[in-house]
A and B are shown apart, each in its own frame.
Chain A
């Protein structure tokens, strides 16, 4: 049996497959949001007649010790975690864009200050910073968002700053100046097309971090309050019931969290492939 490496018989080319993957990822998140909305109040309603039921066809994620449907709770938890993560990632990426631009364009002093801040931010362990800031901000969704946004910008800032510094000394930027193009024109046509993909991909790749850190903070008790159905809260609660054999309380939300983080990671990587000219036309 011989296999030919050069003629892969896939029905679509790589570009179409990348686009399909991106579409599938977006559909996945749409399904989570819509079904969480469709479930309405169901996740909070206690039904003592249906306590501690293991997963079945009727209730794929089982029920907890108060008879609440775990699928509904997981979906709602994911929705909350995703919105918190998305807000935090967007804020973080925006801070990174501002700082990166400022460091590269506004001269030496600003650059020194920003790089120093970046070094400090990267030297402090994330979780310590997260707990401190979240605690100082009073916890809750607000605390988590502020803490995650304030601790995740340094790496992307560094990338954006380096990108612009490198671009500014590139031959084609100097050439553009010789063609009589002004700084605004150069920034819009030459710099932005380089920085925007970094920004978008950086934000998408920040997102898995932010969800996991938000869930981690909540799990440790410094984030969302116990009665909100966040993924971290679900996982923390399930700890107490694991020894009683209610394994599905931890496994189902845990897998759901891992899957959504992985899907977002896929989304980011496929976006990068699409936006980079070296891979976009393959």
Chain B
């Protein structure tokens, strides 16, 4: 479903290639891990795959068609810091509705408390806010989810609850899941396949 063909990216002409001739194929419902130390370009790869950055070479395909630049992107990226991924002047309700109206069972599944809706982002904790971002990213158009160090800022209990819910949703909706993390133990626990491209 999600496919990257011969991807290459670098920031500027005279800089080193962060990755080159990178191929990737993910089937619906498949969970893939990308480990590697900091600063190797994992996050850049995530941004390329989700359409935030245009690769210098190669291209990204979804269901055989190139990733479109207009309309709601079927590949959604989840950031490490949810505080930076929400507008601080919007209330939680508006944030979750930005892509579309979230179904009530999704809110229940992610344990979104109705009392949050009237609050501002700074009035929620990191884990709560990350779940809000997850609701927003799980619109009906979404086919594939890229989790870029999504839970590395959270405590282990919150990590477990978020991943458990997300794996359930991914299984039900046959979402492709790419988990990017430097935490190898987490990836081994979550993923069926690991791509060691960015490792030593």
Contact = CB atoms under 8 A, between A and B. Distances in A.
A193 B50 CA distance: 27
A138 B167 CA distance: 75
A178 interface: yes
B89 A179 contact: no
A227 interface: no
B181 interface: no
Contacts of B71: 180
Contacts of B98: 176, 179, 181
Interface in B62-93: 70-73, 76-77, 79, 81, 84-90
B89 A171 contact: no
B87 A172 contact: yes
Contact of A281 (B51, B70, B123): B123
B5 interface: no
Interface in A154-183: 170-172, 174-176, 178-181
Contacts of A179: 72-73, 98-99, 139
A56 to B, nearest CB: 53
Interface residues of A, number: 16
A15 interface: no
Secondary structure at chain B's binding surface: helix, strand, loop or mixed? Answer: loop
A194 B88 CA distance: 9
Contacts of A190: 87
B184 interface: no
A19 B157 CA distance: 42
Size class of the B contact interface (CB-based, 8 Å): 20 to 34
Nearest to B68: A180
Secondary structure at chain A's binding surface: helix, strand, loop or mixed? Answer: helix
B122 interface: yes
A277 interface: yes
B88 A277 contact: yes
A180 B72 contact: yes
B89 A178 contact: no
A180 B52 CA distance: 12
A278 interface: yes
B162 to A, nearest CB: 19
A20 to B, nearest CB: 23
B89 A277 contact: yes
A171 B85 contact: yes
Given A176-B98, A179-B72, 13 more contacts: A172-B85, A172-B86, A174-B52, A178-B52, A178-B73, A179-B73, A179-B139, A180-B70, A190-B87, A193-B87, A194-B89, A277-B122, A278-B88
Question: Which 8 A-B pairs give the minimum distances between C-beta atoms?
Answer: A180-B72, A277-B120, A180-B71, A179-B99, A178-B73, A171-B84, A171-B85, A193-B89
